[in-house]
Amino acid sequence: MIRLGTRASALARAQAELVAAALRRDGHAVELVPMRTEGDRLPAARLADVGGKGLFVREIEQALAAGRVDLAVHSLKDLPADSPPGLVLVAYLPREDPRDVLVSRAPGGLAALPAGAVVGTSSLRRRALLGALRPDLVVVPLRGNVDTRLRKLAAGEVDALLLAAAGLRRLGLDPPHADPLPVDVVVPAAGQGIVVVEARADDVRAQGLAARLDDPVSRACALAERACLRRLGASCTTPVAAHARLVDGRLAMVGVLAGEDGRRVLRVEATADPAEAEGLGRRVAESLLAAGGAELAARAGAGREAAP
């Protein structure tokens, strides 16, 4: 029996089932072990104020390290840039649609939202990039699972939402007035759309089982994006985006670092051979820092420390 650790949300279970189904096709018995994480237990808190996105994986990684589960399944964008000692990412599943989607109560997409319309998102990245595109909108923090946020939209609490296309697809949801935003306009978060499998570094058997699920293109994109994130020292306190894709055999990457209000947005693009994915990510990050990103990140950190 292979025990898969996962968050307990409907989306996390759907993602874990992708891994479970693949393992079952290889003839293995699989049990899902759902867990509530600290991030799930703090549904109203702003992540930047309570420890960042690592809150969504900490308990699962602790269970993996302790041997209570054999493998862990995560949304890659929920993971900090560095894995804890003793744990390794062994499989990057084929990437689902990485775009953000504007879901609104009326048709017409982003351009049709009136000045002063209220848009809900829990992401500093989405807040900053939306602020850069439409500074006349009011962006408010909105957490909860996808269904909860869609209900708040239907109830009129907000005029629109920004959600991940991958989450909607994996849940089989197709809300009306859902408009995907191009990745070159609203650059996705590092790892967005990628499901990963994590194992203990000393568990050769579990690593071998999971490695069969690895997608080389997804892995190369993820390595570049996470290397960029790591070099920037970014967390949920800094609006940052990093997205790589394979174009004509080359890895093309864009990195973005922004002020939280979107009034200043730094953007760098570069390409490399897929074998040099991590070097590409570091190079993009270095260019961002040299262009003023170090100052932006320092201001974000100072702002958090000064906040009550």
Query: pLDDT digit string (tens) for 268-300?
Result: 999 999 999 999 999 999 999 999 988 887 776
CA 252, chain centre distance (Å): 19
Return the closest-CA partner of residue 250 out of 229, 227, 221, 292. Answer: 221
**What is the 3-state secondary structure of the chain?**
CEEEEEECCHHHHHHHHHHHHHHHHCCCCEEEEEECCHHHHCCCCCHHHHCCHHHHCHHHHHHHHCCCCCEEEEEHHHCCCCCCCCEEEEEECCCCCCCEEEEECCCCHHHHCCCCCEEECCCHHHHHHHHHHCCCCEEECCCCCHHHHHHHHHCCCCCEEEEEHHHHHHCCCCCCCEEEECCCCCCCCCCCCCEEEEEECCCHHHHHHHHCCCCHHHHHHHHHHHHHHHHHCCCCCCCEEEEEEEECCEEEEEEEEECCCCCCEEEEEEEECHHHHHHHHHHHHHHHHHHHHHHHHHHHHHHHHHCC
Burial state string for 130-158 with b = 16 or more CB within 10 A and e = fewer than 16: bbbbbeebebeebbebbeebbeebeeeeb
Whether the per-residue pLDDT at 52 is higher than 70: the answer is: no
Return the closest-CA partner of residue 88 out of 196, 15, 8, 7. Answer: 196
- Which of 38-47, 128-137, 143-152, 292-301 comes out lowest in average pLDDT? 38-47
Q: What average pLDDT is seen over the chain?
A: 91
pLDDT at 50: 45
- The residue-averaged pLDDT of 71-89 equals 94
- What's the pTM? 0.91
Give the dihedral of Cα atoms 41, 46, 48, 49; nearest 10 deg.
Answer: -80
pLDDT at 235: 52
Tokens coding 75: 């949304």
Assess whether 78 carries a catalytic annotation.
yes
Q: What percent of the chain has pLDDT over 90?
A: 81
**CA 76 – CA 87 distance, rounded (Å):** 14
Whether the per-residue pLDDT at 93 is higher than 60: the answer is: yes
Confidence of residue 146 (pLDDT cuts 50, 70, 90): very high
pLDDT at 145: 87
CATH numbers and ranges of domains, the chain: 1-93+194-214 (3.40.190.10), 100-181 (3.40.190.10), 216-308 (3.30.160.40)
**CA 273 – CA 277 distance, rounded (Å):** 7
- Which of 49-53, 125-129, 218-222 comes out lowest in average pLDDT? 49-53
Confidence of residue 37 (pLDDT cuts 50, 70, 90): confident
Q: State the catalytic residue, choosing from 26, 49, 78, 248.
A: 78
